[in-house]
Structure 1
Amino acid sequence: MAAVEPRTVRDTVRGLWADDILPSLSGLVEIPALSPAFDPAWAASGHLDAAVEHVRGWLTARDVPGARVEVVRLEGRSPVLLLDVPATEGAEDAGTVLLYGHLDKQPPVGGWSEGLGPWQPVVRDGRLYGRGSADDGYAGYAATAALEAVRAAGGAHARAVVLLETGEESGSPDLPAYLEHLSGRLGRVSFVVCLDSGGNDYERLWLTTSLRGMAQVRVTARVLDSAQHSGLASGVVPSSFRVLRQLLDRLEDSATGEIRLAECNVEIPENRLAEARAAVSAAPGAVRDAYPRHGATRPVSEDEIELLLNNSWRPTLSVIGASGLPEPAEAGNVLRDHTTLALSFRLPPTADSAAALNAVEKALTTDVPYSATVEVSGTEAADGWNAPDAAPWLATGLERVSEQVFGAPWRAIGLGGSIPFMGLLGAKYPEAQFLVTGALGPDSNAHVPDEWLHLEQAQRVTEAVAHLLHAHATA
């Protein structure tokens, strides 16, 4: 496998980022393209369509021989933007490379620093600030630049399809329908590149080798037909909150955070244990110090390897919402008739999410304390993903880009969150190789105020993808 010429790749990528990508990406930041879950009237507001049109215009202006740009729309679903680039000569039999990103965004939320805002692109100290800059607006630009760079350097790539969806931040509900609709056109997908991830520092290429699954449920404990004076009813009628506390104890050990349901736990593979040890060694403190703990709050464990495994291969429960509770300043002496909690479980990558959800529902509704009424609603489940072992061409290519592009060894981690697309693709194309990476770092502020993209890391990731496209085509 001959390597593609690195200087031309580097010069092409950096020129594209400086002259073409950064101005257009800044324009994309300005568009409040909220994901459909946060803008149910997205079709009427037009912001998602504006984001698609903005990037479509940029792609159409690229000088990539034979490339086709198309917006695909299925009735009642948010659109998908495609760039279809034919294989270079001699790589026609290498299958299809699918390069994935998304154009929809999280809500703006308040609390942005002075001089920054969600729809206000600001370049400062090598960072592009603004909502969607890092998650994941840059991905389509980087994928296209990688294709242009490998061609400019005289390298090869298989047929490449850049797929940019507009529902990822809503859980990609429309993606299965689009994959089914496009399956004949995509053909044999042999390599999947996802640029919606990142790692623990900006010094090396980080691969995501697993993603946790999830299960969600809203549970309501109802004890009265109507609320009553607490001085009269308490001690006679059980508290709905106490009922839920007891039910939660069936699910989670409140002292340790361990999930008690067997269906939610798996044995961690030995190769993922080794990756966790190597990741912590490469970037000590990155996991432990990633989040702004308040005051003297300690992490769950002092062992950083255990923290990483907790976040990537062990189940966790977060109470993400509640209702039936008034604001403290407005609370009277009332025994409330009900309490509702929204429960979010993150599941190990290889856990059966449907079985886990079923076990959760059973634990919440069987032998309920005081025979209180328990209602379960809003259930959702999605499997995680565990990457296949790297093929020899990919393993060799990773070593090469680590040396040539980053000057540091690549590392792999499991991601505590989910990218629904990866589970879908893993099931649909079990023989494909996967490169799940990106420019996000531990402090990139995705989903929260002051989101920013590390421009130098984004350029290096783009270079790496160019080299790995060539490695795939010439394997």
Structure 2
Amino acid sequence: MNARVPNAALNSAQVLQSVTQAWDRDIVSQLSDYIAIPAKSPAFDAEWAQHGHIDTVVQRAADWVLTQQVAGLTLEIVRLPGRTPVLFFEVAATRASHSQSETVLMYGHLDKQPEFSGWRSDLGPWTPKYEDGKLYGRGGADDGYAVYASIAAIQALKAQGATHPRIVGLIETCEESGSADLLPYVDALRTRMGNVGLVMCLDSGAGNYDQLWLTTSLRGMASGVLKVEVLSEGVHSGDASGVVPSSFRIMRQVLDRLEDSATGRLLPASFHVEVPPERLAQARATAALLGDELYQRFPWAHHDCGGATLVTLPMTQDPLQALLQRTWVPTLSVTGAEGLPAFKDAGNVLRPSTAFKLSLRLPPLVDAGQAVQELKALLEDNAPYQARVTFHAEGSANGWNAPDTASWFEQALNTASQAHFGAPCGYIGQGGTIPLMNMLSRGFPKAQMMVCGVLGPKSNAHGPNEFLHVPYAKKLTAAVAQVMAAMPA
């Protein structure tokens, strides 16, 4: 190893070269093997423990980390009874003042979303394919790469002899299920985490692939199953329709209490908040930078209409409004349904029930638990025709708004972004949810939060054709290393 050098003299080109070699030599191959394993999160695989896929990806990641022989690193797979495992590693500080310095916490997860449909004919969720710098398959970008990139970033610093603070890594396996198992691990490992001054969460998105992006807010989430029951069994539609109310029509009526179907606006005032002035200013700057890409990035459906090709229109074509609506506005999505037979099985039968799985994204400052209670009362009370309407909550998580940015952190972000992308750091809110961030903000209120990731345009996390943009991941890894080295002693 090189002699210790001042971090101000860190060679950015060498950092990028080091992480690029790690990605090309090892990480892409490791992630390809990871993609091939259907390590679905417990919410989508109730028998995850018996299937063993989550244990497999955790063990493989642990084995790889140990083979890197990172100086000063210790690693443990921690298992609490009845919970998904976590991978926890520690890397000793190399600074003279390490006993007083703050700790860097690196976060990621290894569990995955389910398969989904619509994959390109030559792609699939568990069949990795590397093409034109993109690694296709479920979970590589969300978020299997995180542990590998974290270690590559640490090794890049050590290769130059640059000093670094104490570093710990927490890689969970329940994030896609709302991180239901995480808080007990945070409590169990709190003393081992130490005095966390910088959190590096590598599970977020990017506005483009041309610069480093810092996530400044995350929406919260509330989910559950809304069910409408009108009969104990199906009956002939010709005999019963007109007398027996349709469970689907009642479902529509009940949802109209929650959402204006003409505009998509959620009706409860308590689900809305004022956007903080700093976030609004950042949104204006980002909207000016990204423009139409904020809505053009999605795979809109095309269809023929009298010889003309029409494209589905977004809810707004104003870039600022598009950005705010996916970050600071509540929305409703129906992500699943039961009681609706496939076409081939759909006879002339009035169905006894209809059930929808609802997913609500909530603004960062809305209390998700309170929103669930209000949602249940809103949907269940005074059901039309005295039908049986039930809402079974399946989970909730508060959103997150980043703390004020310290001057050293802002400078480090811009320096790293300029060094590796030739552009300043961008600031963007994300519509997704990372429950850990609120836990860490409460537990370490003075810590800076570097929430970033590789989920840029068309990467399509959770959907078909999900990919990891490898050239961007390399530069992001290098930027992570530089920001870590810039943390004050």
2:58 equivalent in structure 1: 52
CA distance in 2, matches of 1:116, 1:357: 38
Q: TM-score, normalization: structure 2? A: 0.92
Relative to structure 1, is the Cα distance of residues 73 and 302 closer, same or farther in structure 2, using a 3 angstrom cutoff?
Answer: same
Q: SS state of the match for residue 317, structure 1? A: strand
The answer to whether 1:89 aligns with 2:89 is no
Q: Which residue of 1 aligns with 2:372?
A: 357
Q: Which residue of 2 aligns with 1:285?
A: 292
User: Quick check: 1:433 aligned with 2:453?
Assistant: no
Are 2:220 and 2:364, in contact at CA under 8 Å, matched by a contact in 1?
Answer: yes
Supply the distance in 1 between the matched residues of 2:59 and 2:420 (Cα, whole angstroms): 33
Where does 1:172-191 land on structure 2 (aligned, <5 Å)? 172-191=179-198
Q: Which residue of 2 aligns with 1:304?
A: 319
CA contact (8 A) 2:178 2:396 kept: no
Q: Cα RMSD (Å) of the superposition?
A: 1.9
1:211 paired with 2:226, answer no
Deviation of 1:127 (Å) = 2.0
Higher mean alpha-carbon deviation, 113-122 vs 137-146, is at 113-122
Kindly state the Cα deviation for residue 433 of structure 1 after the two structures are TM-superposed.
0.7
Q: Secondary structure at the match of 1:312?
A: coil
Q: How far does the alpha carbon of each residue in 1:203-240 deviate from its partner, in whole angstroms, 9 at most, with x for none?
A: 00111111111111222222334444434433333332
Of the three residues 344, 359, 363, the one matched with 1:348 is 363
1:74 alignment partner in structure 2: 80
Alignment partners' CA distance in 1, 2:95 and 2:156: 16
Residue 335 of structure 1, CA deviation: 3.3
Range 402-411 or range 214-223, more displaced? 214-223
Q: Does the aligned pair in 1 maintain the 2:178–2:395 contact within 8 Å?
A: no
1:383 Cα offset (Å): 0.6
Residues 1:464 and 2:475 aligned together: no
Partners of 1:21 and 1:379 lie apart in 2 by 35
- Structure 2 partner of 1:171: 178
Label 1:365 to 1:146 Cα distance change in 2 as closer, same or farther (>3 A).
Answer: same
Q: CA deviation at 1:141?
A: 1.1
- Taking the TM superposition and a 5 Å limit, the aligned residue runs for 1:393-472 are 393-472=408-487
Equivalent residues of 1:207, 1:413 under 8 A apart: yes
Q: In structure 1, what is the equivalent of residue 341 of structure 2?
A: 326
Deviation string for 1:335-386 (max 9, x for gaps)?
3332222221110011011111111111112222233222222442211111
1:2 aligns with 2:8: yes
Displacement of 1:200 after TM fit?
2.0
Instruction: Give the match for residue 41 of structure 1.
Output: 47
Which residue in 1 is equivalent to 2:22? 16
Give, in whole Å, the separation in 1 of the partners of 2:312 and 2:450. 36
CA distance, structure 2, for counterparts of residue 116 and residue 231 of structure 1: 44
Name the CA distance, whole Å, in 2 between partners of 1:331 and 1:117: 29
1:104 counterpart residue number = 111
**Are residue 133 (structure 1) and residue 148 (structure 2) matched?**
no
* Structure 1 residues 141-156: aligned runs within 5 Å: 141-156=148-163
- Alignment equivalent of 2:240, drawn from 221, 233, 240: 233
Q: Aligned equivalents of 2:163 and 2:417: distance in 1?
A: 20
Structure 1 residue identity aligned to 2:59: E
Structure 2: 5+ residue stretches without partners: 1-6, 303-310
Structure-2 change in CA distance of 1:280 and 1:228 (3 Å): same
CA distance in 2, matches of 1:62, 1:381: 38
User: What is the DSSP-based 3-state SS (H/G/I as helix, E as strand, rest coil) of the residue aligned with 1:450?
Assistant: coil
Letter in 2 for 1:51: V
**Secondary structure of 2:294 counterpart:** coil
Distance in 1, matches of 2:10 and 2:60, equals: 31
Flag the 1:463–1:205 CA change in 2: closer, same or farther, 3 A: same
Residues 105 and 131 in structure 1, CA contact (< 8 A), matched pair in contact too: yes
What secondary structure, in the 3-state scheme, does the structure 2 residue paired with 1:413 have? strand
User: 275, 280, 291: which one pairs with 2:282?
Assistant: 275
1:96-116 deviation line (CA, Å, top 9, x unaligned): 111011112223344443543
Q: Which amino acid aligns with 2:48?
A: W
Q: Structure 1 residues 349, 117: CA separation in 2 closer, same or farther (over 3 Å shift)?
A: same
Alpha-carbon distance between aligned partners in 2 of 1:155 and 1:308, rounded to the nearest angstrom:
39
User: How many residues get paired?
Assistant: 474
In structure 2, the CA distance between the partners of 1:450 and 1:156, relative to structure 1 (3 Å rule), is same
| Unmatched tracts of structure 1, length 5 or more | none
Aligned AA for 1:414? Answer: G
2-side partners of 1:31 and 1:220: how far apart? 34
**Partners in 2 of 1:122 and 1:329 — Cα distance?**
34
**Are the aligned partners of 1:263 and 1:355 in contact in 2 as well (CA < 8 Å)?**
no
Q: TM-score scaled by structure 1? A: 0.94
Displacement of 1:254 in angstroms is 1.0
Letter in 2 for 1:376: F
Deviates more, 1:35-44 or 1:140-149: 35-44
- Higher mean Cα deviation, 311-320 or 329-338? 329-338
Distance 1:413 1:299 in 2: 20
Are the equivalent residues in 2 in contact too, given 1:222–1:240 (CA < 8 A)? yes
Q: Distance in 2 between matches of 1:127 and 1:326?
A: 37
